[in-house]
Chain A
């Protein structure tokens, strides 16, 4: 975490009721830590009239009540929060393990990804499961965690044309990111496997299995183990 003086934030008006705060212009652990610290601080000490927060890699979108705030007034208030970021204590990250059954119908792109990089499918699985990932943020749909970074050997562009339907639990990669689709949605990430876990459940505290700042490891499991782990 940079010292107090070095936290630089750029403010941009996103709409008549939202404001974007950028901590740098590229994806770095430092910038993302600033995002997580500011999010934490705003959750601990909410600003009246702030209605929603959308964290991302190196930015935080703040939606506010237009009747209560003008952009410049809210910026002044938020700069005071940013001045305190170095003192914010984030909780120790949780380490979450996600079982994945790789390849076959669960991972229809595994062989092609392997071929693109001149690797065997097993080596792709090894690489994908050998890294501890950070949950940079949740976005897109409820419970979708953007995990980074992939081992360099696995960095792969997304599909040219997205699938209309990606099954829930699918584990995909795109660029240097990886993630698990919580719901059946359209999607352009290349699919390596599928997890039997439910990423978003309404009958569970916290709803989303993963939360921003978590550390995640994938664990390869057999087809049989996948079936055992699947919810009844």
Chain B
């Protein structure tokens, strides 16, 4: 059994896969990787199925010992990784020899970096998923962020059937992401949104504030949601709001007129009016936002949102997304 020993956990490192959908009636939100694009690509780089479990690091990465070696890849933001002191390029698979130590530092770009290993991380699934849900302490590794001394097991359940040849042939050949495709998948600071279910409650003045202003991400930004600071929105007709189901990426306007964007560990229902909703194609961008990042909102139609998601999916499933390094 291949394992990873956690020598230092980093700021907040959790086991995540693509989350658990379908348990809304129990109040369970999906959780899952904050940047699912990075997770999916990382898994493909090491020959796993896209949804295999990996480690999600936040702002400051950890130090990991591989007593028996591994095939691994780092995706998402650049955390200045080294393997036994040698620099590692992001978005590229690499072989770890038995006894080597992978060391990550503070981020040099966005909020999250993913460590994907061949075979994925094996934990006891909760409702069919390995994803950690921090607030309720469910899923992942004992329902919590990793600590020094934790030992994670790697399995082989996640390995894609088509990867056998690459495992046999490509043991020493690393793989990378085609730069031209990667460029088009990188996170954005202009978030595209569609109208929210209570858009009609807000005035044109409020709209010009939301779409004309620059907001910055506050320190209260985590997997549950991102609280923004910036121009206050004139409050809508809030009186009649009854708690209802809330969707991922909902831009809800809290008391005081500041927006909160609901994220992967979101509460499943809520009582604030929602003025907009981040489009699905920009969810991964939300996962890379750091406190103090400046963002803007751009309103698009539902048809455009759909088209952008299709385009993104075409890039993510492109045959030439992953190539062997030369």
Contacts and interface: CB of A to CB of B under 8 A. Distances in A.
Interface of A: 12-18, 20, 22, 25-27, 39, 43, 51-61, 63, 66-67, 70-71, 137-144, 146, 182-183, 185, 200, 202, 207-208, 211-212
Contacts of B246: 14, 54, 61
B110 to A, nearest CB: 23
Given A51-B21, A52-B21, A60-B245, A138 B27 contact: yes
Interface in B115-154: 126-127, 133, 135-138
Given A60-B245, A140-B269, A25 B240 contact: yes
Given A25-B240, A140-B269, A142-B138, A55 B248 contact: no
Contacts of B279: 15-16
B29 to A, nearest CB: 8
B245 A55 contact: yes
B284 interface: no
Contacts of A26: 242
Contacts of B197: 12-14, 20
A182 B136 contact: yes
Contacts of B240: 25
Contacts of B305: 16, 66
Interface in B1-47: 21-28, 30
B75 interface: no
Contact of B24 (A20, A54, A67, A207): A54
B316 interface: no
A141 B306 contact: no
Contacts of B222: none
A88 B196 CA distance: 31
B242 A56 contact: yes
Nearest to A62: B245
A208 B250 contact: no
B278 to A, nearest CB: 8
Listed from nearest, the 8 A-B pairs whose CB atoms lie closest are A61-B245, A54-B245, A139-B269, A16-B305, A15-B277, A138-B27, A54-B24, A18-B247
A67 B135 contact: no
Interface of B: 21-28, 30, 126-127, 133, 135-138, 194-197, 240, 242-250, 267-270, 274, 277-280, 302, 305-306, 309-310, 313
A71 B310 CA distance: 16
Contact of B196 (A14, A53, A212): A14
A14 B269 contact: no
20 contacts: A14-B274, A16-B277, A18-B247, A20-B245, A22-B244, A27-B242, A52-B30, A54-B24, A54-B25, A57-B242, A59-B244, A60-B245, A61-B244, A63-B248, A139-B270, A143-B26, A146-B243, A185-B135, A202-B126, A211-B25
Given A25-B240, A55-B25, 18 more contacts: A13-B302, A14-B247, A15-B247, A15-B248, A15-B280, A16-B302, A17-B280, A43-B25, A53-B25, A55-B24, A56-B245, A57-B243, A59-B244, A61-B245, A67-B309, A138-B27, A138-B268, A139-B268
A140 B244 CA distance: 10
Contacts of A138: 25-27, 268
B245 A140 contact: no
A59 B25 contact: no
B194 A142 contact: no
Contacts of A13: 194-195, 197, 302
A143 B277 contact: no
A208 B26 contact: yes
Contacts of A25: 240, 242
Given A16-B194, A70-B306, A183-B137, A139 B250 contact: no
Contacts of A211: 25-26
Contacts of A146: 243, 269
Nearest to A24: B242
Contacts of B137: 183
Chain B CB within 10 A, most for which of A16, A18, A137, A139: A16
A211 B24 CA distance: 12
A141 B24 contact: no
Given A16-B279, A16-B309, A183-B136, A140 B248 contact: no
A137 B25 CA distance: 7
B250 A15 contact: yes
B28 A14 contact: no
A67 B244 contact: no
A18 B245 CA distance: 10
Contacts of B26: 138, 142-143, 200, 207-208, 211
Given A14-B277, A183-B137, A208 B244 contact: no
A66 B268 contact: no
A139 B245 contact: yes
A182 B267 CA distance: 13
